[in-house]
Each structure stands twice: as structure tokens, then as C-alpha cells.
Amino acid sequence: LLRSGAGFRRLHRLLLTHAHFDHILGIPGLFSTLRLRQSDDLLTVHGGSDTLDLVVRMLAGLWGEGRAPIPLKLEPLTPGRFF
């Protein structure tokens, strides 16, 4: 994000293509960094239902069930939907 010049302030959506750990293990660090902005901006995370389920369980293990350090919306992907 930083090398691209986009920065964190413009990040409002995150697309997770699959649940391999090399794609999701950075999420807690990203969320902690976004929390430092002290913003109420909502981050929408798009992904398959299995991927989002793993993210939910990971977040619950770190911050408690149903809690995240930032405002968050999980949006399951459906077949045929394009971005």
C-alpha cells in the first residue's frame, strides 16, 4: 500500500481471493494499523464464505467474538459477481 502511493486513508475495500495463510495472516496487523487512524470509516472485506469464516475465527481469537479493532463489514462473494 505504501509503495503504491495509495496509503491507508484510501483503503475502503479488501478482496480476499482465498483463505491461504499467506493471504490472510497480515489482516490483524493491517487492522491494528488502521485503528491507529482513529477513523470511523467502514472497511468492507469481500471473500468466499470459507475465507470470511476463517477471518472471523482469527479475529475472534485475537479480539473476542464479534469484535474487531475497526468498523468492519464482511461481504460474501457470489458466483457471477464482477468487480
22 is catalytic: yes
Write down the pLDDT at residue 43: 95
Report helix, strand and coil shares of the chain as percent, to nearest 5: 35, 15, 50
Question: Where in the chain are the domains?
Answer: 13-76
The kind and range of the H/E element at 30 are helix 27-35
Distance from chain centroid for Cα 36: 15
pTM of the complete model: 0.84
Q: What is the pLDDT of residue 83?
A: 65
% the chain with pLDDT above 90: 59
As a whole number of angstroms, the distance between CA 74 and CA 45 comes to 5
Over residues 48-55, mean pLDDT? 95
**Per-residue pLDDT at 82 exceeds 80:** no
State whether the Cα torsion 7-41-74-46 is positive or negative. negative
3-state secondary structure of 47: strand
Q: Catalytic pick from 22, 41, 50, 53?
A: 22
